[in-house]
Structures are given as C-alpha cells and as structure tokens.
C-alpha cells in the first residue's frame, strides 16, 4: 500500500488522504467560525484533538503539508474590513498539552533561561507606531495579512495613542485584546446579544465596523511581543516587558516567571491552575519562551510558528454537546432545580454528563430545548452549567416545568417576588428530608463519616430516619437490620456508631450551621455563636437585635427569626438537643488590638498554613475573615501568586500584609497573652 521516496519519505494512501482532507475541511470551517464570525461551533478539546491529528499526519507524510494545516495561521481576513499585509508574519504558537511534551521541546533548546507568561484568551492585535505615534492596527487574520481595526483599537484605553519614554522610530507592538470577567458579566446583563464567554465578547466588540460600538464596551489589552522594528535595545523577553510598560502598555508581568527547568515550568503551571479563577480575566494556558532574543532569532520559525516558544494549554473549560433531557432535583429546602442530562463530554479532564440549569427563568432566558446542542462550562470546582445554545435543532422539544413535586407529589408554588419554585410538603417529602440530613452530617456540620447520600436515602426510605435526632438512636434501634444489609457488617456498623458518638460533643457554630437556617452559612454561624454564646440566647433573638450585628442584613435576620418561630423546626431542635453536648470554644477569643473586629481577606498561597488554618487563627484572634475585598476591608494578607484580590486591595488603598507580617503579628499577640 505504501511506497518509499528518498526525497519525500512515506507517501500517504487513499485512506490517509481522505482523513487529511476531511480534517482540513473541518478545521478551516471551524477557524472561520472562530476568527471571522466570533461564534465557535466546536469546543476547544474537539478542535485541539483534530489539530493534533492533522499535524501528526502531515509530519509523517510531508507531501500533505505543502498546502496543509502546517502552513496555516488563523483564517482569511473578512471582506467586511480593509486588509493590509503584515510586514513581519504574525505567526501562531505551537501547542503542547502535558509535561512530557514540554520536556521534548525543552530538551532541544540550547538555553534553559526561559520566561513564562499567561496565555490570555482574547483576540490578537498588532499596533504600529512611527515616531511614537500609533498609525495602524491589524488583527492576526491569516498571519500574512490582517484586518484594519485602527479606529477600534484607538478606543481602548490600554493601547496608547502615543508612546512615552525611549522608543524605536518604528515598532509594531503585538498583544491581546481581552474583556475582564467582571466587564463581561456586566455587558451580558445589559446587552440584547448574549455572549458565550469573554473571548467571544472581546472579539465581537473589537471587530465592529462602527468604532462607537467598540468604544461602548469595556475592552482591555496587554502587550507581549513585537513585529516590525527599526532597532532593538533589549536583550531578553523580560526586558521587553519592562520596555512595554515604560511606553505605556500593560503586560502580564505580575503573573510571569523566569524558570530554568521542566519541573519549575510544571510547578508554575500547577500554581496558575490552582488560582486560575482568581485571575480577573480568562486564560487558556501558559506561553513559554526562550528569554534571550538573540537565541530566539537564531532558532527562527517553522512555516506557522516560532521554534523558541510554545503554548502549554490548560484543559478546556468549555465544551459543546447535546442536551438529551432535563430532570428535576428537589433540595433540602424544597426548591426544584432543573438539571441538564447531557451527551457525555470531556471538559477539563472530567467527563461531564450533567449540568445545572438553575431555574425555570434560566431555561426561558437561554431558550434551550431538549435536543439542542449547548455550550457547557466548567471552571475549577464549580458545578458545570449551560451558558448558551450553540445550535438549535428543528425537532427539539420545549421543557414544561412541573407543577407537582416529582418526588412526593406535593404542590409546587412560586412565592411572590421569588425565582425558585418550591415543594410545600416539607414535613414528609423524602427528597427534602434526605437533603436536610445530608447537610446535617456534612464536614462543616456534624461531620459523621459513614452516613453518605446513599445510606441516608436507604434509611429514610425504610422509615428509620425522619429528623436529625433519629441519627443518634439509629444504631441502637436498627443495628441488627443494618448489619445484615449489603455493604454493611460488624466493622462498618461499629465505625458508624463511633462516628455518631464522637459527633455528640460539638461546637455551637456547627450546630447552628447544621440545623439548616435559611441564608445562614458557616461564616454567619460562627458570627452568631460568638455574639449569642448559647442556643437559648439565639432562639430568643429579635430581628432588631440581629440586624445590629455586622454581616447580618434584614433578609437574613428575618429568616433566622422565622426559623425559630416555626413549631415543627423547634420540635425537631428540642429532640436533637437531648442527644448532644454543645461546647463553645468560640467564646475563647484572645483579646488584642491588632485583629479584634478587623475585616481580613486572605489571597494567594501561604507556605506555612492552609487557608482553613489561617482563617481559624484569625477567628481565634477576633478577626472577621472575608471572601472579597472592598473599601471596608482592613487588611489583605497576600501569599504567593496573589491574584485579583491583591489588585483590588491596591485599588482601594487597603493595608497589605505578607505572610511574614501575619506570622509576626500572631507571634506578638501570643507572647503578650502568655505574659
């Protein structure tokens, strides 16, 4: 089937040629949708898989690469815009996806001095300056020619109209236009057109024929490299970042790092992945560059990408798949939540088959129907969610929200002014009972090992658990039956009894959190425990008492009082209190002037403490740990790779501490307390 040509290597057979032609056709169509229309029709993982395969084919059969994907950059420029040739080709960057591929590239380098930057998920631009004055702006386009977006770039504050400082007579600054996530959410709230993600919003805003539309949307930009150049006065990429900032550009220098080994690259990759959600704009990987520009120029480029840099891609955070159905989950408060049943898809290394649709209003807003293709988003530990319909199917079926509970048959109501629809059968709806008990035994509540979702559902269905107090008599009453069930035995039953007995001695704040007061999370539970110091005192609190407490508003105060006014809730609480001993270590706060009453925010990675350990120390010292920075924040403690919270602290003029500052303060307080 194959013959060998000394000049060309193996020649592809008909099957390989057909596969190559099919992949090339698909990739060209996908590139046009992404680069020209700003409306991707496949997810990143699908695109990357097809791209990897076609490059693999062209590497093995060079004759297919002559007019193939290996020489391809971006997409042809749109006829809507004037176009101009790039004086220096604007190439793409070769992708790698794992540490082994990074090592393969690294081992071919003659220098281990590398500079690693964030790969910002936006739209590439080239801004030409002559004698320091901005004269023309282009998109990447085909890499050989780009679309003229000069007037649009002029509207972006981060792109200077005139360079400052010492600059070359001619310099083409290249970078990325992006939209910060906060600005993206704000745009989607006010715009008739809903964008799927910040990258699409940035691209759609920048590639407008009317610059006034671009100006009306909040776009940002980073510089990161250069094209045409009259003279070069910098020797490294890191020095070029300094030059860019001196000329008036912003860079990602705050998130960049110099490295000299594959292990250091991987460590940085892992750090950025861990704190990816704290960075205020979307990124899809790291860009790793040889730092020396002389060596960059010596290494040169392939047809479509430089040899001296690679993009180390993150797992895709979004995917496109089919919506096979919508089911309803009933939570512990009776709220009915629609769940999308998806054609399974790998997103970010996780196989996703379900995603939240939030509520009936969200289904209507999205216009999603069973059978449509949808864009699914997953980021960090956030539950996957549908963000947009990617393709409407003609035979798709609209979803009708139920008016009776699918679990117990109880009536479903929607209270005035509320979005959620709720089953009113709170006393006997098995789904609500199970949800309440699962919350009760969770890690931050009573923390009872051996009582998971499946066990609770089984015990509730058998009638052995009807409320929280029943947990503490479960083994005594039904131990013999439990021991004989599949998955149980003497040891597991003994372990369950030990876990239940250990849970009987418990902190007050954990009890407050566990009993499921609406609006009251773990932080609020700790505040209430510190303020009232006993369950009896909290039960007697009035709304006027509660709203005086920092961190508790009118709605939360009303929910707390309403909970303790409910006869059934108090009957269940009284039954529970017969079985437990409440301890109250939150009363023991070390008095001091440094942290007492101060609002403190933790950001970045601490080297000596976990986030929970640091929070516990702060609470013991009378501080009030907060989740976000505002003008009312007193102190921000910034560890390594601090992100947007550090930026906000600088913007609001909040006092910023290092981890060492924190440790010194703790030591000072402890020393004074022991004297």
Q: Which residue numbers are catalytic?
A: 119
Strands 94-96 and 170-178: unpaired
Beta-ladder partners of 412: 423
Rounded Cα–Cα distance for residues 160 and 250 (Å): 10
Strand positions, DSSP E, 498-638: 505-507, 581-583, 599-603, 624-626, 635-638
- CB-CB neighbours of 627 under 10 Å: 8
Rounded Cα–Cα distance for residues 232 and 240 (Å): 9
> Tokens standing for 142?
């085909």
Under a CB-based contact definition with an 8 Å cutoff, are residues 310 and 411 in contact?
A: no
Strand positions, DSSP E, 422-491: 422-423
> Tokens standing for 103?
């090592």
> Tokens standing for 383?
């539950």
Helices (H), 578-637: 611-620
Q: Count how many Cα atoms sit within 13 Å of the Cα of residue 588 in the half-sphere of its side chain.
A: 7
- Angle between helix 181-190 and 198-206 (nearest 10): 70
Rounded Cα–Cα distance for residues 645 and 651 (Å): 10
CA–chain centroid gap for 548, Å, is 35
Contacts of 210 (CB under 8 A, 6+ apart): none
- Rounded to 10 degrees, the C-alpha dihedral 462/463/465/469 comes to -150
Q: How far apart are the first and last CA of the chain?
A: 88
Rounded Cα–Cα distance for residues 105 and 198 (Å): 31
For the residues of 330-350, what is the DSSP string, one character each?
E-TT-BEEEEEEEEEEEETTE
- What distances in angstroms separate CA 427 from CA 333, 431, 432, one per listed residue? 11, 10, 8
> Tokens standing for 582?
């409440």
Closest by CA to 387, choosing from 356, 344, 410, is 356
Mark residue 380 as left, alpha or beta (left: phi above 0; alpha: psi -120 to 50; beta: remaining).
Answer: left
Closest by CA to 386, choosing from 356, 361, 360, is 356
Under a CB-based contact definition with an 8 Å cutoff, are residues 532 and 582 in contact?
A: no
Rounded Cα–Cα distance for residues 636 and 623 (Å): 12
Beta-ladder partners of 612: none
3-class secondary-structure state, position 4: strand
């Amino acid at each position: 089937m194959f013959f060998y040509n000394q000049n060309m290597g193996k020649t592809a057979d008909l099957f390989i040629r057909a596969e190559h032609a099919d992949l090339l056709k698909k990739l060209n169509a996908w590139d046009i949708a992404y680069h020209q229309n700003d409306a991707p029709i496949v997810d990143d993982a699908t695109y990357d898989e097809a791209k990897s395969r076609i490059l693999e084919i062209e590497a093995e059969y060079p004759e297919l690469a002559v007019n193939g994907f290996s020489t391809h950059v971006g997409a042809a420029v749109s006829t809507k815009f004037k176009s101009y040739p790039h004086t220096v080709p604007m190439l793409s960057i070769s992708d790698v996806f794992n540490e082994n591929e990074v090592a393969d590239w690294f081992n071919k380098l003659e220098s281990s001095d590398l500079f690693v930057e964030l790969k910002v998920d936006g739209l590439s631009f080239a801004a030409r300056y002559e004698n320091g004055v901005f004269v023309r702006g282009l998109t990447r386009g085909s890499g050989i020619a780009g679309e003229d977006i000069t007037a649009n770039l002029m509207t972006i504050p981060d792109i200077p109209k005139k360079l400052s400082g010492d600059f070359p007579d001619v310099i083409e600054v290249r970078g990325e236009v992006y939209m910060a996530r906060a600005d993206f959410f704000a745009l989607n709230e006010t715009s008739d057109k809903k964008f799927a993600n910040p990258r699409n919003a940035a691209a759609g805003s920048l590639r407008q024929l009317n610059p006034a539309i671009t100006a009306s949307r909040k776009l940002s930009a980073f510089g990161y490299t250069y094209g045409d150049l009259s003279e070069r006065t910098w020797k490294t990429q890191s020095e070029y970042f300094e030059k860019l900032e001196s000329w008036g550009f912003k860079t990602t220098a705050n998130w960049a790092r110099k490295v000299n080994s594959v292990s250091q690259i991987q460590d940085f990759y892992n750090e950025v992945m861990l704190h990816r959600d704290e960075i205020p704009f979307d990124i899809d990987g790291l860009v790793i560059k040889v730092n020396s520009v002389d060596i960059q120029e010596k290494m040169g480029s392939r047809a479509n990408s430089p040899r001296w840099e690679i993009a180390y891609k993150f797992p895709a955070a979004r995917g496109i798949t089919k919506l096979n159905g919508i089911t309803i989950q009933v939570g512990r408060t009776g709220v009915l939540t629609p769940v999308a049943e998806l054609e399974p898809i790998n997103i970010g290394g996780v196989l996703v088959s379900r995603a939240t649709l939030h509520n009936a209003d969200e289904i209507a807003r999205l216009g999603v129907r069973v059978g449509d293709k949808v864009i699914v988003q997953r980021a960090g530990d956030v539950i996957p969610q549908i963000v947009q319909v990617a393709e409407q199917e003609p035979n798709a079926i609209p979803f009708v929200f139920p008016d009776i509970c699918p679990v117990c048959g109880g009536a479903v109501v929607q209270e005035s002014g509320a979005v959620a629809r709720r089953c009113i059968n709170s006393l006997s709806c098995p789904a609500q009972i199970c949800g309440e008990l699962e919350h009760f035994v969770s890690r931050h509540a009573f923390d009872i090992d051996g009582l998971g979702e499946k066990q609770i559902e089984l015990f509730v269905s058998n009638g052995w658990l009807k409320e929280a107090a029943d947990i503490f008599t479960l083994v005594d009453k039904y131990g013999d039956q439990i021991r004989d069930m599949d998955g149980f035995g003497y040891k597991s039953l003994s372990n369950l009894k030990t876990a239940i007995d250990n849970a009987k001695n418990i902190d007050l704040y954990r009890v407050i959190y566990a009993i499921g007061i609406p609006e009251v999370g773990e932080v609020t539970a700790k505040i209430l425990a510190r303020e009232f110091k006993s369950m009896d005192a909290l039960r007697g609190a009035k709304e006027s008492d509660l709203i005086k407490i920092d961190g508790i508003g009118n709605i939360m105060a009303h929910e707390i009082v309403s909970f303790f006014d409910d006869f059934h809730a108090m009957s269940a609480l009284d039954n529970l209190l017969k079985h437990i001993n409440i301890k109250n270590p939150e009363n023991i706060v070390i008095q001091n002037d440094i942290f007492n009453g101060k609002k403190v925010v933790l950001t970045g990675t601490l080297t000596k403490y976990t986030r929970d350990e640091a929070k516990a120390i702060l609470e013991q010292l009378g501080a009030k740990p907060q989740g976000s920075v505002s003008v009312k924040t007193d102190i921000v403690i910034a560890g390594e790779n601090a992100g947007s919270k550090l930026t906000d602290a600088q913007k609001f003029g909040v006092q910023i501490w290092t981890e060492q500052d924190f440790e010194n303060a703790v030591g000072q307080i402890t020393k004074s307390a022991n004297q």
